[in-house]
């Protein structure tokens, strides 16, 4: 009976001792944890109660990996700006005047056209011979160009003196020779602004002055003064002294033209004249032509 009682007491003592050991280990472990825990408010309160000094804070330095350097930026080579292309100024075209064109037959057009419809009365030696009408765009065969802006042309066998401005000459020349010449302005000289003589045809003084001027012109150009005004035409008797070939038809037109120009100077009203050139000895016809000047 006594032995059973002693066994029970020993057992109770062992259990109690084990409990104390277990509690002591738990307390010890709690104190150790509280002495080392830095971020727990409960551990801090245990340390303050028991009197354990605060653990020294050791900052844990995390190893921050050094970032790899960025790859070098490879810049594409900058292409140099193209140098501005300097276009040289084109050389100015040489100017050319109507006087220069009149001396270079290779620059003349073969044909032109009329810019306006024209209806002009035909007048000769004080008489009217009806009208001559030319429609717009009528083709003109060019016979000659004059320095004063005249163009001699042929329409249906009739020789006319027109201003180049009455034809398409300017546009034709500027188109044909656009890369060679710059056409200077053409001022047509129709001789209407020239100084008029004091005496006019129909008076003795005017008639004498006209015939004196026409005879001087014939003498200077043909070495002859045998010009006669007949009812239908002019008759000029002339035999050239030289043997050079002469186009008597061209000379007849020139005589008719100058006759009309000089008549207009003295107040005459003629704009048409036909001329015959005859041998002064045999009276043989050597050439004939006419001239119609609508602007007179």
| Cα–Cα distance, 154 to 144 (Å, whole number) | 10
| Bigger pLDDT: 101 vs 242 | 101
- The pLDDT score that the predictor gives to residue 61 is 45
Tell me how many domains the chain contains.
Answer: 3
Residue 80 has pLDDT above 90, yes or no: no
* Residue 223 main-chain phi, psi, to 5 deg: 55, 35
Within this chain, do residues 284 and 211 fall inside the same structural domain, yes or no? yes
| Cα–Cα distance, 165 to 188 (Å, whole number) | 8
- The pLDDT score that the predictor gives to residue 262 is 93
Q: What is the pLDDT of residues 3-38, one digit of tens each?
A: 555 666 677 667 676 767 677 667 776 666 666 666
Within this chain, do residues 285 and 236 fall inside the same structural domain, yes or no? yes
Q: Of all residues in the chain, what percent carry a pLDDT higher than 90? A: 54
Which helix (H) or strand (E) element contains residue 9?
A: helix 2-36
Which helix (H) or strand (E) element contains residue 98?
A: helix 98-102
Residue 178 has pLDDT above 80, yes or no: yes
Within this chain, do residues 208 and 168 fall inside the same structural domain, yes or no? no
Where does the pLDDT of residue 146 fall: very low under 50, low under 70, confident under 90, or very high at 90 and above? Answer: very high
Residue 5 backbone class (left: φ over 0; alpha: ψ -120 to 50; beta: rest): alpha
Q: Does 89 fall in a domain?
A: no
Closest CA to 52 of 29, 27, 35: 35
Q: Does 87 fall in a domain?
A: no
Q: Does 188 fall in a domain?
A: no
Q: Does 192 fall in a domain?
A: no
Q: Does 285 fall in a domain?
A: yes
Q: Does 219 fall in a domain?
A: yes
Where does the pLDDT of residue 86 fall: very low under 50, low under 70, confident under 90, or very high at 90 and above? Answer: confident
**3-17, 198-212, 238-252, 264-278, range with the lowest pLDDT:** 3-17
| Cα–Cα distance, 106 to 188 (Å, whole number) | 22
Closest CA to 109 of 137, 148, 147, 139: 139
Q: Domain containing 100: what range? A: 95-183
- The pLDDT score that the predictor gives to residue 16 is 72
Closest CA to 238 of 252, 217, 253: 252
Where does the pLDDT of residue 163 fall: very low under 50, low under 70, confident under 90, or very high at 90 and above? Answer: very high
Domain CATH number, residue 136: 2.30.30
| Cα–Cα distance, 125 to 271 (Å, whole number) | 9
């Amino acid at each position: 009976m006594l032995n059973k009682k002693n066994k029970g007491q020993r057992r109770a003592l062992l259990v109690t001792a084990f409990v104390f050991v277990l509690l002591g280990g738990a307390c010890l472990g709690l104190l150790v944890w509280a002495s080392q825990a830095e971020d727990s408010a409960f551990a801090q309160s245990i340390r303050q109660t028991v009197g354990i000094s605060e653990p020294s804070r050791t900052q844990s330095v995390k190893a921050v990996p050094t970032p790899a350097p960025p790859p070098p930026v490879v810049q594409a080579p900058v292409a140099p700006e193209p140098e501005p292309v300097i276009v040289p100024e084109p050389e100015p075209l040489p100017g050319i005047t109507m006087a220069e064109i009149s001396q270079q037959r290779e620059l003349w057009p073969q044909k032109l056209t009329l810019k306006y419809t024209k209806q002009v009365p035909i007048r000769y030696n004080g008489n009217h011979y009806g009208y001559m009408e030319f429609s717009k765009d009528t083709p003109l065969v060019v016979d000659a160009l004059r320095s004063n802006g005249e163009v001699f042309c042929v329409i249906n066998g009739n020789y006319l003196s027109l201003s180049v401005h009455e034809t398409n000459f300017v546009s034709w020349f500027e188109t044909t020779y656009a890369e060679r010449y710059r056409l200077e302005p053409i001022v047509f000289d129709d001789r209407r602004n020239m100084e008029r003589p004091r005496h006019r045809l129909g008076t003795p003084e005017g008639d004498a002055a006209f015939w004196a001027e026409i005879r001087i012109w014939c003498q200077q150009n043909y070495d002859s003064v045998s010009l006669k005004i007949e009812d239908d035409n002019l008759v000029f008797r002339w035999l050239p002294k030289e043997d050079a070939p002469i186009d008597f038809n061209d000379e007849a037109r020139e005589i008719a033209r100058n006759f009309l120009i000089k008549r207009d100077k003295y107040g005459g009203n003629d704009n048409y004249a036909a001329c015959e050139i005859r041998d002064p000895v045999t009276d043989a016809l050597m050439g004939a032509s006419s001239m119609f000047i609508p602007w007179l």
